[in-house]
Amino acid sequence: MHTSIPARARRGWRRALAVAAAVIALPTLAAPALAMPVHPPHRALQGGFEELMVPSSMGPVKVQVQWAAHGGDGALYLLDGLRAREDFNAWTFETNALQQFANDNITLVMPVGGQSSFYTDWRVPSNTNGQKTTYRWETFLTEELPAFLEGYGVSRTKNAIAGLSMGGSAALALAAYHRDQFKHASSFSGYLNISAPGMREAIRIAMLSAGRFNVDSMAWPWSPAWLRMDPFVFAPQLRNLPMYISASAGVLGAHDNPDSPIGMFNTVNAVALEALSMVNTVSFMARMNQLGIGAHFNLPVNGTHSWGYWQDQLAAARPDILAALGA
């Protein structure tokens, strides 16, 4: 049976269809506006702690952040050591770094990961451990991460950088080549003369131990890329950069209390690693003196290659860092 539809109903349906079509079309019509995303605003409480997943050419990278206590736009990047973990930056749980800067008007930026990377851009993925992605840490720390953090109110040009061991030489390198970004650099127990006799092979062994990474995948021996990483070589580019540089002689101190065979083994290693860092740092200091470049050097006798001393050195560097950033 055929039923006719009243004209009024037909007009109502046509209006409904027109509205539905307009609604369906809205995403398309709005596309130009949606295609221009902005990073989310600085949404954590001032002084709050947050974990961000930051896009990069290496894939998403976790970055742990403690926001400036009073909304300031300066930041301190804290770099990890050779055995950097994939879950947390060790500054957040091995030290009281968060508490040290809790009331300061600068943001702590703590990237997670980068084991054995020296925070540089590598030639190729490591061929000794099946690495799938080429490390691009310099690109991340100086381009991708600053661009992301800018959306949270962090300046791209008002930053300091500090690191321990592997992160120490990396902090100086990143500051040397990106002076527009970093206004202060700190190296704690860094290896600052990596082209000295025996140093490359020592680094090779250390990188194989820490994740089975191949130093040759990072940079060929004494290639321009390798020399670019060596603070002793790029020292002239550090002129007029405020720096805090420390290393100890490896003599046991207040933070060394081994109470087990493994603790004793680790302490012996920490003594040897710190003594090597001291040799590197003294050589670097002589180079800086030769060039007439100033820096704040702190070279105590007591101290080993361990977190308690790096925590102390960060506290000692803190006034210099805050002064350089005007915070």
Q: What is the pLDDT of residue 46?
A: 82
Q: Is 138 a catalytic residue?
A: no
User: How far apart are the C-alpha atoms of 238 and 261, rounded to whole Å?
Assistant: 42
Q: What is the pLDDT of residue 40?
A: 53
Q: Which residue has the tokens 């002064």?
A: 323
Q: Is 274 a catalytic residue?
A: yes
Return the sign of the alpha-carbon dihedral for residues 314, 316, 320, 323: positive
* 47-325 CATH pick, 3.90.420.10, 3.40.50.1820, 3.65.10.10, 3.40.50.720: 3.40.50.1820
**Annotated catalytic residue, options 165, 169, 246, 306:** 165
Phi then psi for 108, rounded to 5 degrees? Answer: -90, 130
Q: What is the pLDDT of residue 4?
A: 40
| Number of C-beta neighbours around residue 184 at 10 A | 24
Q: What is the pLDDT of residue 47?
A: 83
pTM, to two decimals: 0.87
Under-70 pLDDT residues of the chain: 1-44
**Annotated catalytic residue, options 116, 187, 189, 274:** 274
Tell me the C-alpha to C-alpha distance, in Å, between residue 73 and each of 105, 108, 164. Answer: 8, 11, 24
Q: Is 86 a catalytic residue?
A: no
B/e letters for 106-132, b = 16+ CB within 10 Å, e = fewer, are bbbbbbbbbbbbbbbbbeebbeeeebe
